[in-house]
Amino acid sequence: MDKKRVRLQIRGIVQGVGFRPFVYKLAKKFGLKGYCFNDTKGVMIEVEGEISKIENFLETLTSSAPAVSNINSITKSELPVNGEKEFSIIESKSSENKFVMLPADISICNDCLHELFDKKNRRYLYPFINCTNCGPRFSIIKSVPYDRIKTTMNEFKMCHACGAEYKNILERRFHAEPVSCFDCGPSIKLIKELNAKKIRYGKTSRHDLAKTANLIHKGKIVAIKGIGGYHLGCNAFNLKTVRRLRRLKKRLTKPFALMAENIESIEELCFLSDTERKIIQSRRRPIVLLKIKKYLPFMEEIAPGQLYLGVMLAYAPVHYLIFHYLKKYSAKPLLIMTSANKESFPLVSKEEELKEVKNFSDAFLMHNRNIETRSDDSIVRVFENKEIVIRKSRGYIPDFMDFKSKKTILACGAELKNTFAISKQGYLIDSPFIGDLKNYKNYEFFLDTIAHYKKILDVEPEIIAHDFHPEYLSTQYALSQNARRIGVWHHHAHLAACLFENNVKGKAIGVCFDGAGLGQDNAIWGGEFFITDIAGFKRAAHFKYFGLLGADKSAEEPRRVAFSLLYALFGKNMFKHKLNSLSAFDKKEKNIFYGLMQSKEFVLSSSAGRLFDGAASILGIMQKVGYEAEAAILLEMLATSFNGKTESYAYHIKKRKGAYLIDWQPFFTEIVKDVLAKKDKKLIAYKFHKTFAKIIHEVCMNLRKDYGINDIVISGGVFQNFLLLNLVINDLRSRRFTVHYHKRVPTNDSGISIGQAVVAAAQIGTDL
């Protein structure tokens, strides 16, 4: 019989996901000889045998790979037959050119969950149970290839029993790098007070988990170490505790995330579509924003003014164990599980950082498996039966997107909601969510994570892309580096990310609405329409400029935006109107701000995000926000509650110097009239949204007529407003536009880094 030998270089998510045991069993099934091993590109396989059996092997390799793996490419070459006697898995090999598609952290699998509560199993109630199909991955990786010695598990020497499982090809834990048990693995410890002494971990005590549950039952707040960092956990039904947590964290109104043990507990609170059910139970275990089914009193404390709750299922063994002990006190416990951090600080992931949150916690459930890369919980929402990523971190990172670039690129991202992205060997890899770089701790997190990515991806960027805003720390970092630097305009980056994600070739109409981004004229843009492609853009329409009093301070105080808008509408007569916006200022403040408007001491802006804030202020919804975009979010909630039909407000669009200018003054004048007439605020809020949708529709119609373009890309943080997004898309599709929006890449500033990399690649001549 004819035989041959082939070498297969497998690239993709193929390390740490049970891929080599799968290959081994497959080779045995088809009677093939050879070997496989992890290398610094993925998995290398050499097999020899009958040609027909090798063909069957190759077909099954791609069709039946482990569920958590993802084969991206297979490079095949033929070799001389050498008479191999068996098939084996051999030690990993390194090369000078390291590049491995690393696996994300995933939730506990059903097999491990069953063993966790099996009294006959040696890992019964063991809080670090895992196998090749589940558990920590990216958060513990220190270097590549992905072997135990290059993870934070290296300090734990496997006992004989775990070692036997680890080496047994037929075991579910074969080469599961975090494998351990009570005798040899990490340990948990519950402590009541932090002190300077180093924590001494002994063997894990199940009593610590029972005590943790008891503390939560009694209304205490516990800092709980998980996979990507610490949560602050407490009983969601205990209103006194929830209020206390808000006071301690100085988080008076921002919604808290909830964690439930099972899908049945969630179904009692929220509506669940089939898509939402699938996502929330997925191995990634994100927080999913779900519509509230029946508004219960405790929900106002959890998510004030919201129609949605952010809910996730337990995903780490320690979570399931806490629920296990909590059921002694309650049949269906529900936890607040919010990030353990101070406001605008990064998530706490190291024991020495716990002092930052010691005043928020009554106790600390710790463990001694180090976290190499901290990562917050990811946040998603479902729109048109598609998963929309809002915050991309644990479970979704690292994400390897196909990206053909001639050079290695580091894109440094924006100032708010920062992420960065690095390209290498045909992929673009984005970072975990980092946060607001104005906070020095987040900037340190930014620097540390870039250094880690450079190490594990073995890359030194040749090109560094950055925002044009000179005060962004991400920009200042880029300008300090010894590499070619390419500046990318903020809103072009937004739209380029959407073009790239949706594989839109050629030019499109770009609609980019957000809070703030530096424009080419040094004004603050944010309500823009462009004719754009990846390589460049032309500003084709925008909202008429208005003044921002105190620039960034306006984002924190919607009343400032309203003051500016009302001054533009009524001048010195503005104070004749009895509006909540103006009542929010004392006499001295009114005089100061009126003087600033008269002397034009403000920043010019076209920001749609600030117009939403201004409307919320005039409606009396909110004058000072407790968290970013709170006023706009509550305006959306109010509008979503409206049941009925209405026309839009009036507006004017004029063409000046080759671009359309959208005058917001007519519809804000009508809004003021409706507010003074005490019309239904839900109606006013909905009518405001409908006006924005109609403006977008009309401008896009004009631009299609002018430029003959039918594709529309939508980006920017304002389009996290799903009511607006739905109105806009339905209007545009009714006129046969092809509309593209974000799904895999966040539409907010977390997506900026992807767009920067895409634009930079285009500028150096890469055909994406």
Beta strands in 251-398 (DSSP E): 258-260, 287-291, 308-313, 334-339, 363-367, 379-383, 386-391
Report the C-alpha gap between 274 and 25 in whole angstroms. Answer: 34
Instruction: Report the relative pairing of strands 258-260 and 308-313 from DSSP bridges.
Output: parallel
Are 161 and 127 a contacting pair, CB within 8 Å? no
DSSP 182: T
Report the candidate in 465, 417, 460 with the shortest Cα–Cα distance to residue 442: 417
> Quick one: DSSP state of residue 151?
B
Contact yes or no for 617/558 (Cβ under 8 A): yes
Token reading at 687: 């009518």
224 close to 394: Cβ distance less than 8 angstroms: no
Contact assessment for residue 258 and residue 309, using Cβ atoms and an 8 Å cutoff: yes
Rounded to 5 degrees, φ, ψ at 685 are -65, -45
- Out of 20, 123, 172, 559, pick the active-site residue: 20
Q: Is 38 one of the catalytic residues?
A: yes
298 within 8 A of 247, measured Cβ to Cβ: no
Cα–Cα distance, 46 to 48 (Å, whole number): 7
Going by the DSSP 8-state scheme, the letter that residue 343 receives in this structure is T
Bridge partner residues of 692 (DSSP): none
- Looking at the DSSP bridge assignments, the partners of residue 35 are 46, 88
- CB 413 within 8 Å of CB 386: no
Residues, the chain: 768
End-to-end CA distance of the chain: 46
Structural contact between residues 373 and 138, judged by C-beta atoms closer than 8 angstroms:
yes
Q: Is 418 tagged catalytic? A: no
5, 11, 38, 341: which is the annotated catalytic residue? Answer: 38
3-state secondary structure 77-110: EEECCCCCCCEEECCCCCCCCCCCECCCCECCCH
State both tokens at 233: 């956990």
Beta bridge partners of 382: 387
- The 3-class SS string of 392-403 reads CCECCCCEEEEC
Cα dihedral value 59, 62, 67, 69, nearest 10: 150
Residues annotated catalytic, as ranges = 20, 38
